[in-house]
Structure 1
Amino acid sequence: MSLPLTVLGGYLGAGKTTLLNRMLTGDHGRRIAVIVNDFGALNVDASLIADHAGDTIALTNGCICCSAADGTATAIARILKRAADFDHIAIEASGVAEPGKVARNAAAFRLPLDGVIVLADAEQLPEQAANRYTGRAVAAQLRQADLVVLNKTDLASSDSLAASRALIARHAPAAPVIETRHADVPASVLFGAHDADVGRPDAEALAQPADHDAAYKSALFERAEPMSRAEIEALAAKLSAQAIRAKGHVSLAEDPSARHLYQQVGRRWTLTPNGRWGATTPSTRIVSIGISQVRG
């Protein structure tokens, strides 16, 4: 079993710990294995902890948190021994690390890379980017992002917010940007539509609007006839310009008996075999999630 991998990056203080807490404790129905640098910083509510043994905390919702104290590779190997128990792996890159390198190092385990998500502090980003000691690291992190979360927008002045937007546009021009506060991002945006939801007819229920900076909308692409790889590539190019996330099953003309799983975050997309259609009528159904509006 191959678990999709998300790498979470961002400079010190950007809000990674808050987002990790949301990943671990959110009511999203996903069993996520998170690899972190510092257990102590998470401050998980004791009532949510089912077990704490050594370098692993197991939560009551099926998620677990593993320490990277003995190395990320060791933590991944430990998780993969129980791969059937999880839906997704997320790795926290340190505040000064390049998340792209973390993803490449994890490639030895042949985990499909779902995406690199980079958080940025809307208040501090301009100063960090201009600093001779931190600027290079911050720029590198942004360049490697498939999705940028511009966090703490409520703390930033209008000038800082404008400067942060300009920096992201400069270093990550192809990456979708989500503006938020308190690292409040729906799980459907972070991890895509849940596997159990891909076939649902009510696509609008897959992305619930946030009640602050951004509202999210979902759309459903359907096609009964098999699609060629060229048509999928054209669709991927269109979705990358319009959506933050997309996920669904594809009926591929070149391999009609096999069901294929389409997943996309930002400009990164994959199409992989995902079993057989069996008694199910082959068709293509892809749910995409985008930003419908931005509020001041």
Structure 2
Amino acid sequence: MTDKTPVTVLTGYLGAGKTTLLNRILSEDHGKRYAVIVNEFGEIGIDNDLIVGADEEVFEMNNGCVCCTVRGDLIRVVSGLMKRKGGFDAIIVETTGLADPGPVAQTFFVDEDVREKTRLDSVVALVDARHIHEQLDRSREAREQVAFADRLILNKTDLVDEAALAEVEARLRALNPLAPITRAERSRVPLEQILGVGGFDLDRVAERLPADNPGHGEPGHVHDENCGHDHHSPDHGHDHHHGPRGHAHQDDVKGVSLSLERPLDGQAFTRWLDRLLAEQGPDILRAKGVIDVKGEDRRLVFQAVHMILEGELERPWRPDERRWSRAVFIGRNLDEAALRAGFEACAA
């Protein structure tokens, strides 16, 4: 695991602050060697004083980082970077203008050579606090970028008041109950909140899930590391609320949280999940869960990206631990009642 180079996919709608963030990574003295893959060099606007050497596609910076552009095939670019001497602490792939980070993420699961040398660490989405409501209302891309992320960076927080920020955060959580939200100004984010997040690490699936399911007993809590206080998650049974000026937002993308106190039949659950991903895979952006399988001492953890499913029996349940099954599905046009019925029908 450790010898593979971690990859962060950085996404976010136009104007969210990705370029500012990438320029910081390429120019600051952080003592790390990062490779940044962008769609276009022109957008980054690299300061010539910082460039050490450049070949056709790769600019080397004087802080040891390199920046290269994707012309065509991402797999070829990543393979080329991995052959460079010295290696990298991490690779950051920016997905400007891509509708859905899913295809980029899938590259790191499906290509054997890339999988051998790299591991997908997380998808991080930058969000413009001032303009995000309008972007989410009109752009499917903006909704999918938020829904797909392992971490959300709520940027430009200095441009809106606290009430507006709370409202934006509530809407972001309805779209994506799994991603912690970090507030930032001018893309100033500690790099450890973007790199090494472990969003695709099966061992860390459980810590990503909401502590409890909204609408079932106590409301769920999502801790925001930057705020120093917990926010109640909204009830995911309702995928609309009132935005600025009292307009209701009806998002086609949402997160659905499921839970069951009784153990599940392992084979029934696997069949249901396989069928669900086969039929609705293109609409299911992300899914994660920890399952209590009847007759099994270990926790079954799974995650899915569209139709790509990974799962394994992880550590044993601890004697003092609450044994229950929970899963979160994030996607387009999800039928919450049907998902809940299918999940509960797997009870042993």
User: What is the TM-score with the length of structure 1 in the denominator?
Assistant: 0.63
CA–CA separation in structure 2 for the residues paired with 1:157 and 1:37: 33
Identity rate of aligned residues, in percent? 39
| Kept after mapping to 1: 8 A contact 2:16/2:155 | yes
Q: Which amino acid aligns with 1:123?
A: R
Choose from 100, 104, 116 the match for 2:123. 116
Choose from 39, 64, 69 the match for 2:41. 39
Partner of 1:161: 165
From the CA coordinates, give the structure whose radius of gyration is larger.
2
> Higher mean Cα deviation, 53-62 or 95-104?
95-104
CA–CA separation in structure 2 for the residues paired with 1:83 and 1:15: 31
Q: 1:267-278 maps to which residues of 2 (within 5 A)? A: none
CA–CA separation in structure 1 for the residues paired with 2:175 and 2:205: 22
Partner of 2:95: 93
| Kept after mapping to 2: 8 A contact 1:8/1:16 | yes
CA–CA separation in structure 2 for the residues paired with 1:128 and 1:138: 6
| Kept after mapping to 2: 8 A contact 1:12/1:96 | no
Residue 196 of structure 2 corresponds to residue 237 of structure 1? no
Q: Which amino acid aligns with 1:64?
A: V
| Kept after mapping to 2: 8 A contact 1:126/1:160 | no
| Kept after mapping to 2: 8 A contact 1:4/1:113 | yes
Q: Which amino acid aligns with 2:206?
A: A
The DSSP-based 3-state class of the residue aligned with 1:90 is strand
CA–CA separation in structure 1 for the residues paired with 2:206 and 2:163: 33
Partner of 1:150: 154
Structure 1 stretches lacking a partner, 5+ long: 194-231, 245-296
Q: 1:1-296 maps to which residues of 2 (within 5 A)? A: 1-82=3-84, 84-107=86-109, 108=111, 109-110=114-115, 111-131=118-138, 134=139, 136-158=140-162, 160-192=164-196, 237-238=206-207
The DSSP-based 3-state class of the residue aligned with 2:157 is coil
How many Å apart are 1:187 and its aligned residue? 1.6
Q: Which amino acid aligns with 1:43?
A: G
The 1:188–1:11 alpha-carbon spacing in structure 2 relative to 1, beyond 3 Å, is same
The DSSP-based 3-state class of the residue aligned with 2:46 is coil
Structure 2 stretches lacking a partner, 5+ long: 212-222, 226-348
Q: Which amino acid aligns with 1:34?
A: V
Alignment coverage as a number of residue pairs? 204
| Kept after mapping to 2: 8 A contact 1:11/1:96 | no
The 1:93–1:85 alpha-carbon spacing in structure 2 relative to 1, beyond 3 Å, is same
The DSSP-based 3-state class of the residue aligned with 1:112 is strand
CA–CA separation in structure 2 for the residues paired with 1:37 and 1:156: 30
| Kept after mapping to 2: 8 A contact 1:35/1:68 | yes
CA–CA separation in structure 1 for the residues paired with 2:182 and 2:6: 22
The DSSP-based 3-state class of the residue aligned with 1:185 is coil
